[in-house]
Amino acid sequence: MTQAKCPVCGCEQFYVKDPDDEFEVYEFECREGDVCFDEAADSGQCPEIDESTEIFCNACAWHDRFEKIK
């Protein structure tokens, strides 16, 4: 199984900010091109992620569009 990694530090954990509350974040991994949110996250609450969604690395300052790690 291939997993997306941060292009700067190699971390496999990312997060996206809630579009309605920038202080609320949802952690995820990208496995085989699929977004896999943290099991603790309520799937009904998780935002949609598409190619242009801004995502953030969980370990360093890198952030860019989702398409950059797919």
- Give residue 3's pLDDT: 87
Q: pLDDT digits over 21-65, tens only?
A: 889 999 999 988 889 998 877 767 888 999 999 999 999 999 999
- What pTM did the predictor assign? 0.88
Domain coordinates of the chain in residue numbers?
14-68
- Residue 1, pLDDT above cutoff 70: no
Separation CA 45–CA 31 (nearest Å): 20
Confidence of residue 20 (pLDDT cuts 50, 70, 90): confident
> How big is the chain by its Cα radius of gyration, in Å?
11
Longest dimension (CA), the chain: 33
Separation CA 57–CA 31 (nearest Å): 15
Q: Which residues pair with 53 in a beta bridge?
A: none
Angstrom distances, CA of residue 54 to CA of 1, 67: 24, 9
